Amino acid sequence: MKKLSLGESITGTCMNRCLVVVSRNTSIARMQVHRVMGAVEGIAYEWRGADDWHNVLFTGEADIAVCEAGHLLYPLADGLIVAALLKASQSSQKNLAVVCRSDCADLRGLFYHSDIRNSYGKVWLVGAGPGSADLITLRAIRALAQADVLYYDDLLDPSVRAYCPGEQVHVGKRKGRISHSQDSINEMLYRSVSEGKTVVRLKGGDPSIFGRAGEELDYLRRRWIAVEIVPGVTSASAASAAGLFSLTQRRISRSVTFLSGHSLDDVPHSPDKKTFVYYMAASKLEEVAHNLIREGVPSETPIVLVSNAGAWNEASVYSTVGTMSAIVAQPPALLIVGNVAACASIEKKALFTGIDPDSVKIKEPVVHQPLIMPVSKSETMLSYKTAEPRPTPLDLSYFAAVIFSSPETVDAFEEVYGNLPDRLLCYAFDSATREALRRYKVSPWRIVPCPIRGKFTDGVNRVA
């Protein structure tokens, strides 16, 4: 492994002190972490055992926790992140997960090059909408256009598959016909993504409403695979539109319950098997909690309050029915009550500042805010300047990273945002962009290469 030079004092948790690493399985973990640390000049660290490593990370008593990846429960506690998966040194050993606080960009950058997930692809669980092909969303079309392999269901308009240039595999399940089991579909998705492919699992309607997305998502996320869900128009909405009636209407219908006809022997009305979704409930949390408990919902039932769902600044607050009245919520907010809320995890996103967001292949969800615009073109490359009118700065607390596609995007970021917060990781397309970030005194550990689609050469035909 190539020796890396510290170059300058790194910021954040690593500054001018020894890193503290905690682990239960010290013998195997020491070997793996030493391979990373030993490749870096100027990094000192000490090893400690710890059973409750969550607390020592949050309190700052430790910087890094190392454990077997299979022992981690998803989702992690809010504020923690898997910085890397380290490949087992022997076939009899398990891969290790390196965990740190999500605001420690230097530590995430330090382990970036050792993360075996860099060779993985990404899975998109996509809803195609019901029936007509023109009900598919623009985001779904963009995901299909990037797919190396498409696993698709029955009950889809065949024409939507034309958006996918990659391999196409039918995995539909119909009653009374031989079909793939859910376990085999899960394994196919995992096998393809671990081979580095961008995978789209295409479903009719919305994948999160009776689309088995929960099972596929759980299988993949427990293996720390990057997954995004693209919502679709659900068939209930299409049916009400076709019939020219509204599913909710004042003085007629105040709520909608979605039930599956395939599980009539189950007890859908049991509180522990039901999901309640409340629109426009931010100012009524205490009243909602009282009504739920009166209806027999246990006070320890998980809830998640999602603000600005689907927007760049979407965020979530987790609580229980018994304690949610203490939440101070700002509308617009959506309240979700039920055991499924315990699985919720809204990940921080990466801000892409260039022109073409589809050129990026990273684990984080990407939000596009172009900060540059082309001003001239030669035979080999375009020239750029800061976009006019100057973009309005977004709240960077919603982001885990910023993606820079060229030196011009670095200059434009400085003009629009000022200094880059220390907690943000910096993805850079090429060496010229990395050098531009260093000129603005960005710690070298926070600068990591950005995987991109297609072949790009430094300075020639640069995709900004």
Annotate 325-394 with DSSP letters as a single string. GG----SSEEEEESGGGGG-----EEEE-SS-GGGB--SS-EEE---EEEEEE-SS-EEEEE-SSPPPPP
Please calculate the CA angle 296-344-311 and round it to the nearest 5 degrees.
Answer: 120
User: What CATH architecture is 12-118?
Assistant: 3-Layer(aba) Sandwich (3.40)
Residues of the chain with CATH 3.30.950.10: 251-343
Choosing from 154, 183, 273, 280, which is the catalytic residue?
280
The per-residue pLDDT for 29 is 73
Strand 227-230: give its sheet, edge to edge.
167-170, 149-152, 198-203, 122-127, 227-230
CATH class held by domain 251-343: alpha beta
Q: Is the domain defined by 122-236 classed in CATH 3.40.50.12500?
A: no
For the chain, what is the radius of gyration of the CA atoms?
24
The per-residue pLDDT for 8 is 33
Strand 80-86: give its sheet, edge to edge.
45-49, 19-23, 64-68, 96-101, 80-86
Q: Is the domain defined by 349-449 classed in CATH 3.30.300?
A: no
Choosing from 173, 284, 348, 385, which is the catalytic residue?
173
The per-residue pLDDT for 144 is 97
* pLDDT tens-place values along the chain, 464 residues long: 333 333 333 334 444 558 888 887 667 677 777 777 766 666 788 888 877 888 999 998 999 999 888 888 888 888 999 999 998 777 667 888 999 999 999 999 999 999 999 999 999 999 999 988 999 999 999 999 999 999 999 878 899 999 999 999 999 876 656 578 999 999 999 999 999 999 999 999 999 999 889 999 999 999 999 999 999 999 999 999 999 989 988 888 888 888 877 665 565 556 677 899 999 988 999 999 999 999 999 999 999 999 999 999 999 999 999 999 999 888 889 999 999 999 888 889 999 999 999 999 999 999 999 999 988 766 566 788 899 999 999 999 999 999 999 999 999 999 999 999 999 999 999 999 999 999 999 999 999 999 987 644 343 344 45
Look up the pTM and report it. Answer: 0.88
395 is catalytic: no
Tell me how far apart the alpha carbons of residues 443 and 425 are, in angstroms, rounded to a whole number.
10
The per-residue pLDDT for 313 is 94
Residues of the chain with CATH 3.40.1010.10: 122-236
218 is catalytic: no
Q: 3-state class of 276 per DSSP? A: strand
Choosing from 106, 153, 206, 411, which is the catalytic residue?
153
373 is catalytic: no
The per-residue pLDDT for 441 is 93
Task: Tell me the backbone φ, ψ of residue 66, rounded to 5 degrees.
Answer: -125, 130
The per-residue pLDDT for 371 is 96
Q: Is 443 exposed, middle or buried (0-12, 13-18, 19+ CB in 10 A)?
A: buried
Beta bridge partners of 426: 402, 447
Residues of the chain with CATH 3.40.50: 349-449
The 8-class DSSP code of residue 223 comes to T
